[in-house]
Structure 1
Amino acid sequence: MRVAIIGAGISGLSLAYYLQKLGVRYDLFESAPQVGGMMKSVKRGAYQLELGPHSLQMNQEMQELVQELKLEDEVIRPATKSLNRYIRKDGEYHCVPTSPKRLLLDSFFHWRTKLKITQETKLPPEEVPEETVSHFFKRRFGQEVVDYLVNPMVAGLFAGDPDKLLLEKTFPLLKDLERQHGSVLKGLDMQQDLPRKPVFSLLNGLQTLPEAIASKLVSLHVDHKVEMIHRSRGKYLLSIQHDVEGLADEEFDVVVIALPAFAAAELLDFTTPGLAAALHNVTYAPMTVVHTAYRKHAVGFPLDGFGALHPQKEEPFSLGAIWSSSLFPRICPDDEVLFTSFVGGSQASDLANLPDADILLQVHEELRENYQISTKLPAFQHCYRWPAAFPQADMFITDVDQLTQLLEKEQLYACANWISGPAVHDCVMYAKQLAQKIYSQRPSFP
């Protein structure tokens, strides 16, 4: 068996790594000269900046990967013991309680909303076809929960709009709790003892992870853009730019697409026009990442947590900010603090497209107001644009999932965040499972 993997983001790299461990022959093609996709870290003077994911969650797959790649000494745990999340409401930041019981005791929600929350356990479960995140939470907890908890969380995690994202694709666990226990709160009470996945970073940036995986791969081909996939007599042939190794003459039994949906659509227009058409419909949210540093003495707000999110009801400029230097102090000078702000998302996509100077200025002004910053100018600012940052799990993603499953019968697979979920640990876990699935089919090949 021989497998072609197209795309060397974290999904394609992880799949190649796990196939190699299983002894499956593969070739991994990447059109760019470097690997990693959105896992991008840069050094700007004294500042270590994450342009993609800011931190990773340490689930079982990530723990094993870090150990096998011998990256244990690179792992950085959060410096602060407090991973509190804050949400802006009525012009002030409020620490979000970490449990439903604490939420009922806190003053964050109106008493009518608290009453609605207490009655959630009595509501009968419902099956709503293609239910959105907003509809689900409004049905079970009320509109204020949607406006001031769900909206900022969905925007922060997925750059998405809860009025459009599907519940079962975005928060499948919550729907399972309603089905199994008749109530989300009852289900959460039964799972309250489950340990939270700790977050971590890496000493020289998170880009270290994809580069470490790439260094272990024996069949990685960068600067090799696959332009077309041909299927003939049950085998696959690839048209490849800069094919100095003659790989276009090789036959592949399996092809795995590990590209963004829009890139996969262009590649598959000829091979599988049905899936290509569905992939063309996948929506991506733009995002601009802004890093801003200030001298510590100029910041009047205590940065004792992970960061803060902004509901759309508050009419903010940014979606919120991570208090990066509170988590990982080494990333900026000792006498400074570093914020990572996020502008855009599907609910404010026009803001992500403003000129750099406008974005930098408005982020600075918003930070000054929100965090009682006395200085007129930041010590440092940097912005980076992702025109297509996050695939949106809306109604169009359902067709993609169904068609992708059907094409697995023809040994054409997908391994990307539009099918696994956007979190890095989800991509790695999905890649590991797919490697096992492909490996299990070896006997079916001559």
Structure 2
Amino acid sequence: MRVGIIGGGITGLALTHALARLGVDSILFESSEEVGGVIRTARPDGRVVELGPQRTRLVAPVRRLVDELDLGAEILEARPGARLFIWAAERLRMVPSRPGALLTGDLLSPRGRARAALEPLTRGLRSGESVARYFRRKAGGEAYRRLFGPLISATFGSDPETMPASRVLPMLLDPLGVKRSLLAAARRRRPGDTPRACTFRAGMSTLPRAIAARHAGRVRFPAPVEEVRRSGRGFEIAHDGASPGSEVVDDVVLTVPAPEAARLLRTVAPGAADRLARLRYNRIAVCPLGVERAGEGFGFQVALGESWRTRGVTWNASLFGRDGVCTAYLGGGLDPEVAGWDSGRLESTAAAEYEAIHGAAASPICTARPRLPAYDASWGVLDGLELPRGITLAAGYTGRLGISSRIAEAEAVALRLAAKR
């Protein structure tokens, strides 16, 4: 059995590693000159700058991968006790360490806390409601604007008003054991239940680069795939690059964004290709800044309805000791206009708003604009999607975003493929 993997982001690379562990032959094709997908680390002036995900957590799938790649010594954990903040009503307010503590502190006004206290008495998910409507109904408008809305939009890069609750909430809440009451479930969780956030000393790109190096005989890049076509009982993958040619495989796993998956499926599954082409994405502007001073903690998100174009900031300087570096985020589903700005306007806005909020000088370093699945109503095209036997989709739009979730899905796909033998 041989598996062809198209896409060298963390999902495809983790799948390559998991298949090798299970003794299944595979070959991966990545179109660009660097593996990692949205995981990108730059080193301007010797500083570690993340242009994609800033961190992950050492949950079981990540820890296992790190150990098997001998990367334990490269792990850089977040400082103990680091907290997240929300900018609301003209100042930064600390997010409770547990959602169950939402009824204390100053994140909500007395009236907002009183409304949130009624949440256990509210009904569960209703048919057809959006994520925004669900949280407003459950915890009140203020709790939604100051906590749930900012956190959800930051997690998905999307506008909760456009996100179907029936599709998103299982990804968001089931890992927390939430069935009906947000607060009741949160009270059962302890601060130590979730492993600390972490990165790598040389940046997040350490992980995909290490996988590619470990399995160099299974990974080809740059090797853009031109077409996937049937070949007997399997498939033939035609690719370009330094050594153009084709490979015959038994199974194909597409880990690329939906538009690219649609292009590659055009020959073997035109109906599925038409559907995938309709999935929408949002662009996030990632703007690393050189800063004079950073806050202490993870960083902050901006409450919904505030006038800032910045949606949030990661305080890399304090969280991981990244000297003089913080990362601002603009755009996404909450502010799609930003996608049309040039880099100069993005960078000047990020720096000016950082200075206004922190009272400390900031200068832009660079800008990246990764695309994230919108998780909006267009995602309904996935319902009943039919793929030819032997073709699997494994990407951000088939599961939850986040490095740990992508690794977990890759391992699940590897087990299913290995069982076919």
Q: TM-score range by the shorter chain?
A: over 0.9
Distance 1:400 1:70, change over 3 A: same
In 2, Cα distance between the equivalents of 1:182 and 1:267? 41
In 1, Cα distance between the equivalents of 2:123 and 2:283? 38
Q: How does 1:108-187 map to 2 (within 5 A)?
A: 108-129=107-128, 131-172=129-170, 176=174, 182-187=180-185
2:339 to 352, 377, 380: 352
Kindly state the Cα deviation for residue 370 of structure 1 after the two structures are TM-superposed: 0.5
In 1, Cα distance between the equivalents of 2:367 and 2:356? 23
Is 1:371 paired with 2:358? yes
2:328 to 341, 356, 371: 341
In 2, Cα distance between the equivalents of 1:11 and 1:174? 19
Kindly state the Cα deviation for residue 170 of structure 1 after the two structures are TM-superposed: 3.1
Deviations 1:51-86 (A, max 9, x none): 1110111110111111110111111112x3232111
Contact 2:300-2:313 within 8 A present in 1 as well: yes
In 1, Cα distance between the equivalents of 2:44 and 2:174? 45
1:293 to 270, 290, 295: 290
Deviations 1:182-206 (A, max 9, x none): 4222222334476112111111111
2:366 matched residue in structure 1: 383
Contact 1:18-1:432 within 8 A present in 2 as well: yes
1:283 matched residue in structure 2: 280
Contact 1:236-1:255 within 8 A present in 2 as well: yes
Contact 1:56-1:425 within 8 A present in 2 as well: yes
Contact 2:350-2:364 within 8 A present in 1 as well: no
1:299 matched residue in structure 2: none
Deviations 1:202-250 (A, max 9, x none): 111110100100111122111221111112443211222247374x2x4
Contact 1:167-1:175 within 8 A present in 2 as well: no
In 2, Cα distance between the equivalents of 1:122 and 1:242? 60
In 2, Cα distance between the equivalents of 1:167 and 1:154? 12
Larger Rg: 1
TM-score relative to the length of structure 2:
0.93
Contact 2:286-2:368 within 8 A present in 1 as well: yes
SS in structure 1 at match of 2:248: coil
Kindly state the Cα deviation for residue 136 of structure 1 after the two structures are TM-superposed: 1.1
Distance 1:19 1:401, change over 3 A: farther
Contact 1:308-1:320 within 8 A present in 2 as well: yes
Which letter maps to 1:56?
T
In 2, Cα distance between the equivalents of 1:362 and 1:182? 41
In 1, Cα distance between the equivalents of 2:176 and 2:123? 9
1:4 matched residue in structure 2: 4
In 2, Cα distance between the equivalents of 1:279 and 1:438? 23
TM-score relative to the length of structure 1:
0.88
2:318 to 326, 348, 358: 326
Distance 1:244 1:370, change over 3 A: closer
Contact 2:288-2:365 within 8 A present in 1 as well: yes
Kindly state the Cα deviation for residue 123 of structure 1 after the two structures are TM-superposed: 2.2
More deviation in 187-196 or 267-276?
Answer: 187-196
Contact 2:100-2:186 within 8 A present in 1 as well: no
Kindly state the Cα deviation for residue 178 of structure 1 after the two structures are TM-superposed: 11
Contact 1:293-1:381 within 8 A present in 2 as well: yes
More deviation in 22-31 or 168-177?
Answer: 168-177
Is 1:254 paired with 2:251? yes
Kindly state the Cα deviation for residue 168 of structure 1 after the two structures are TM-superposed: 4.2
- Same amino acid, percent of matched pairs: 26
2:415 to 436, 441, 444: 436
Q: How many correspondences in the alignment?
A: 420
In 1, Cα distance between the equivalents of 2:235 and 2:175? 42
In 1, Cα distance between the equivalents of 2:290 and 2:180? 47
SS in structure 1 at match of 2:33: coil
In 2, Cα distance between the equivalents of 1:28 and 1:173? 27
1:212 matched residue in structure 2: 210
SS in structure 2 at match of 1:402: coil
SS in structure 1 at match of 2:193: coil
Contact 2:4-2:253 within 8 A present in 1 as well: yes
Which letter maps to 2:252?
V
Distance 1:192 1:172, change over 3 A: farther
1:59 matched residue in structure 2: 59
Structure 1 gaps, min length 5: 297-301
Kindly state the Cα deviation for residue 176 of structure 1 after the two structures are TM-superposed: 4.9
1:236 matched residue in structure 2: 235
1:309 to 301, 314, 319: 301
More deviation in 156-165 or 427-436?
Answer: 156-165
In 2, Cα distance between the equivalents of 1:126 and 1:390? 25
Q: RMSD over aligned Cα, in angstroms?
A: 2.2
Is 1:50 paired with 2:78? no
